[in-house]
Structure 1
Amino acid sequence: MSSTPTSRSASAAIALDAAPAHRLPTRRRWFMLSLLLIATIINYVDRVNISIAAPFMAKDLGLDKVEMGLIFSAFAWTYALALVPAGFIADRFGSRLTYGVSLISWSAVTVAQGLATGFSSLFGLRLAVGAMEAPAFPANSRAVTVWFPARERGLASSIYVCGQYLGTALFTGALLWLATTYDWRHVFYSTGIVGILFGVVWLFLYRDPLNCKKVSKEELAYIEDGGGLVKSSQQRTRFDWRQVAELFRYRQVWAICLGKFASTSALYFFLTWFPTYLIEERQLTLIKVGIFAVLPFIGATVGILLAGIVSDLLIRRGYSLSFARKLPLVVGSMLGMSIVLVNFTDSNVLCIAVLTLAFFAQGIASASWAAVSEIAPKQLIGLTGGVTSLAANIGGIVTPIVIGAIVQASGSFALAFWFIGGVALMGTLSYSLLLGKLYRIELKTGA
């Protein structure tokens, strides 16, 4: 991974030759990005709401640690399996319809979780939420790739990805209040209803570039001249399993898959077991959990935004696209190994500081979505996002179950943190040694 600036690399030339964004008559791309951010916040609130409800739900329904581990992981089972067809659906039907139907569907199932009566019903409903949410991130990746030029794509990707942290940071206290003031079922009722309402708003407001009546010709030209795949938003591809097989001929795809697996393993600890860890092992009161649980998510939000800003800045300064996109991935994965330090302190303050640093690092490593947008074949942006997300969310399947089994067997989270640290090491090696040069893949099979 060379750090030497190139005088006129192909990627930098595109970025430097593009007209400054502030001169454009419209900024419609940023409005569309704001819709992506809100949708992603809702997406992750509906993933993490179960971790807020878990201590109350487990007691009410008589669920042990192994059962809770299975329930936590159930989402990722169907989510991972559905990602490849979901990516194709995003390419075939576009981000507007795909995301709108997905959002309304998973939100309706979220409401139904409030009606669960035991392990079986809750497990089945979490499977359904996973399947319904699968199109979201492939549709996100596709929308950013068609709406943004290369020089802005890192920040744009970081902005929507930070939605996965902002939702928890903003609403943990409110959801804990609902669970304690009413009961855990109201956590699912409230988040699900909000999602259904925003799904209708999304269908009403979102459009791809060439279908948007409020975007100027100058802004469209700016996006396309800067490497945005504006015209790809009109292409409708046919699915061919050979395309998936051919993607895995490229080391970039393998490296991003392994790196995303590592990053997602850390993410799923915070999305599932984190509140339980604070309440049961650290013996924190609910008020302190409401405060302390937010801090790592704020750290992760800062991490992903910083990664996007620095990555785009490096491109504008003339560094190669590969160096600019890879640097956050290597640094974030390496710093993520710091999570094991939590095993060496009895101080709750230091514990939260370590976990905030580790999640800050995970946020930096989540800039991998910008790398996906740079390597994806132009006809298969959603599918490539689906394939890499499939690998990532195998971590979502494995991690909650492994942690649940560790805690059930040992009565402690200590070995769980060593597990997450070891996976972070794997991600560091993948991004630093395997990833290589980033470039847009040209498939030989028809698309």
Structure 2
Amino acid sequence: MSVQSAPAEVRASARTAATETMELRRWSVLALLSVGAVIAFIDRTSIASVLAVGSFRVQFHLTDIGRGALASAFFWSYALLQIPMGWLVDRYGVKFPYAIMFAVWCVASACTGLMSTFSGLIIMRILTGVGESVVVPASYRWIRANFTEDRSGFAVGIYMIGTKIGPAIGAPLAAWLIVLNSWRLMFLLCGFVGLLWLVPWLLLARNDSRGRDAAAKAAAKAIPLSNVLSSPLVWGTIIINFCYNYFVFYCMTWMPAYLVEQRGLSLRTMGIYSFFSFGGIALVALASGWAADVLIRRGHDAVIVRKAFVIAGFALACTELLGAVSHSVNEALFWNVVSLSGLGLATANHLALCRLTLIPAPAVGLVTGIQNVSTSLAGIVAPLLSGWLLEWSGGYRAPMEVIFVFLVVGAVTCLVLLRRRWAPVLPDENDEPPRMPLHLETSLVHRG
């Protein structure tokens, strides 16, 4: 090796080492975002197991309507702060806003275990929603800034695993802690142990604030809202998003109580069935998304393929009504797992169809933000309406019949309104497409 070539080789070696270090840091931060989603969903869904505890209901004098209000309180603040949190991470970056709001929701979740009044519980659930409203805007903003288009799909897939694992383990974990000690200890442990996540986050994540000028320049190029709201396709995606998430949020908030009160399961056994139900939707979602991609690569029309998967998912989810009317516990449990797992056929494909395949790139961010509102609305309405129907009818059949109606509406809407010719129209398609504000592009979509 010549003397002249040595410095160049050393420099190349140093660059390679630096690149590998950056790659390791990038994937480590992505893994942290996925784990953060797991923690968020555990803290979000833990209340469902508590609502199935008889002593808890007696202590706080909870009616079924009161249980519904407590289950939905999280989404009151969560819905209002979707777009503001997107603006926050766009203006100040992901690292510190995420860290601050993470601490807010963990402490609020832990303090839920210290409350002795119903109003105190409501306040803590609202504060938990305030903190968690940053999760998806921050995660999607970070992924967009750190992964190229040809790798962003896989990155989003890794992040989405966390949003499915969280509900899958949240109910059994909460049930196990309640059985082990009490609901108060469950909240304290889930909240304060979660704070440990902040240590690697603060060490690995880098400050990526864009600054005021960059955010203002992006905001000036936004597509008009009127162009989006005049599209029948957009309204179709809003309806589908609501119908899909109505069933999901019912399962997150009322399914544990249904399994304990209607089907006579213990808290421990309830947790196991909840795990298989949410684990099922995660596995089916992954498999169906991959299967649809394969069919599309083989030349099949993307809209037809994804619509077929979405409609099939809604149809299979309708089997929840078979469980509701069954007199057999085993049969009811079977359809409980099948219906929620079956909805996984629609999970990845309705996201791809409603946000990518049919929506022009400059409108994706704004449409996503609007869809987030319908997601949060489902999170508010599902627990409240189900609680009211439970108290009015005295059983869980009426709430599950409403789910059936929404699932049918979602399938019909997908068939009728999701058509290319009704996509939002750009102001002037001869001009260069405007770029959406990043805080709108990365607005929260909870599947979660």
More displaced stretch, 154-163 vs 385-394: 154-163
Superposition RMSD in Å: 3.4
Q: For residues 110-152 of structure 1, what are the alpha-carbon distances to aligned partners after superposition, in whole Å with 9 as ceiling and x for unaligned?
A: 1121121121111122122222222222333334444455565
Report the 3-state secondary structure (helix = DSSP H, G, I; strand = E; otherwise coil) of the residue aligned with 2:102: helix
Question: Does 2:51 align with 1:72?
Answer: no
Q: CA distance change for structure 1 residues 306 and 434 in 2, over 3 Å: closer, same or farther? A: same
Q: Which residue of structure 2 lines up, in the alignment, with residue 220 of structure 1?
A: none
Deviates more, 1:322-331 or 1:60-69: 322-331
Question: TM-score, length-normalised on structure 2?
Answer: 0.79
Moved more, 343-352 or 297-306: 343-352
User: Match for residue 336 of structure 2?
Assistant: 355
- Which residue is 1:332 aligned to? 313
Aligned position for 1:105: 104
8 A Cα contact 2:227 2:425, kept in partner: no
Residue 182 of structure 2 corresponds to residue 183 of structure 1 = yes
- CA-to-aligned-CA distance 1:190-233 (integer Å, 9 cap, x gap): 1212332224433432459xx6xxxxxxxxxxxxxxxxxxx9xx
For residues 248 and 418 of structure 1, do their structure 2 counterparts lie closer, same or farther at Cα, with a shift above 3 Å needed?
A: same
Q: Which runs of 5+ in 1 are unaligned?
A: 1-23, 212-230
Out of 354, 366, 389, the position equivalent to 1:406 is: 389
* Residues 369, 187 of structure 1: alpha-carbon distance in 2 compared, 3 angstrom cutoff: farther
| More displaced 10-residue stretch of structure 1: 144-153 or 165-174 | 144-153
TM-score (norm 1): 0.79
Q: Where does residue 170 of structure 1 map in the other structure? A: 169
| Equivalent-residue separation in structure 2 for 1:239 and 1:326 (angstroms) | 33
C-alpha contact 2:73 2:126 (8 A) present in aligned 1: yes
8 Å contact kept, 1:93–1:236: no
CA shift for structure 1 position 183: 1.2
Partner of 2:51: 54
Q: Deviations over 1:49-95 (max 9, x none)?
A: 10112233323322221111111111122211221322333443444
Counterpart of 2:51 in 1: which secondary structure?
Answer: helix
Match of 2:215 in 1: 236
* Structure 2 partner of 1:201: 200
| 2:140 matched residue in structure 1 | 141
Q: 2:25, 2:304 → 1: CA distance?
A: 29
Alignment pair present for 1:279 and 2:273? no
1:295 aligns with 2:301: no
Are residues 373 and 200 of structure 1, via their aligned partners in 2, closer, same or farther at CA, if it must alter by over 3 Å? farther
Residue 17 (structure 1) aligns with: none
- Counterpart position of 1:12: none
Could you say what secondary structure the match of 1:236 adopts?
helix
> 1:343-381 deviations in whole A, cap 9, x for unaligned?
232222221221112211333333244446527776786
SS in 1 for 2:254: helix
Matches of 2:242 and 2:404 in 1, distance apart?
A: 13
Distance 2:96 2:302 in 1: 32
Show the counterpart of 2:326: 345
Task: Report the 3-state secondary structure (helix = DSSP H, G, I; strand = E; otherwise coil) of the residue aligned with 2:182.
Answer: coil
Give deviations 1:290-335, integer Å, cap 9, x for gaps: 3222221111111221233224434444445545654443332232
1-structure distance, mates of 2:82, 2:154: 24
Within 2, Cα distance between the matches of 1:401 and 1:385? Answer: 25
**Who is 1:87 aligned against?**
86
Equivalent pair of 1:332/1:365 in contact (CA under 8 Å): yes
**Residue aligning to 2:9:** none
> 1:278 Cα shift?
0.9
Q: Hey, what does 1:396 align to over in structure 2?
A: 379
Q: Deviations over 1:400-440 (max 9, x none)?
A: 11111111111110011110011111211222221223989
Segment drifting more, 104-113 vs 306-315: 306-315
Q: Distance in 2 between matches of 1:242 and 1:116?
A: 46
Give the fraction of aligned pairs with identical amino acids, expressed as a percent: 27
Q: Aligned pair in 2 of structure 1 residues 361, 100: CA closer, same or farther (>3 Å)?
A: farther
Partner of 1:36: 33
Determine the structure 1 residue equivalent to 2:444: none
Provide closer, same or farther for how the CA distance between residues 408 and 439 of structure 1 changes in structure 2, counting only shifts above 3 A.
Answer: closer
Distance of aligned partners of 1:88 and 1:384 in 2 relative to their CA distance in 1, 3 Å threshold: farther
Contact persistence 1:41–1:164 (CA under 8 A): yes
Instruction: Specify whether residues 149 and 252 from structure 1 end up closer, same or farther in structure 2 by C-alpha distance, changes over 3 A only.
Output: farther
* C-alpha spacing 1:373/1:393, structure 2 compared with 1 (3 Å): same
Match of 1:222 in 2: none
**Separation of aligned partners in 2, 1:416 and 1:53:** 20
**Aligned equivalents of 1:64, 1:87: Cα separation in 2:** 36
| Deviation readout 1:211-261 (Å, 9 max, x if unpaired) | 6xxxxxxxxxxxxxxxxxxx9xx9525658985454323344322221111
2:240 alignment partner, one of 259, 264, 273: 259
Q: Which shows bigger deviation, 154-163 or 249-258?
A: 154-163
CA contact (8 A) 1:339 1:355 kept: yes
**CA gap 1:35/1:247 in 2 versus in 1, 3 angstroms:** farther
> Are 1:111 and 1:193, in contact at CA under 8 Å, matched by a contact in 2?
yes
Distance 1:381 1:118, change over 3 A: farther
Aligned pair in 2 of structure 1 residues 338, 176: CA closer, same or farther (>3 Å)?
Answer: same
Specify the SS of the correspondent of 1:49: helix
For 1:236, give the aligned amino acid: A
Query: Which letter maps to 2:376?
Result: N
**Tell me, what secondary structure is at the counterpart of 1:412?**
coil
The AA in structure 1 aligned to 2:35 is: I
Q: Which amino acid aligns with 2:43?
A: D
Is 1:428 the equivalent of 2:407? no
Counterpart contact for 1:138–1:386, Cα < 8 Å? no
Q: Which has the larger radius of gyration?
A: 2
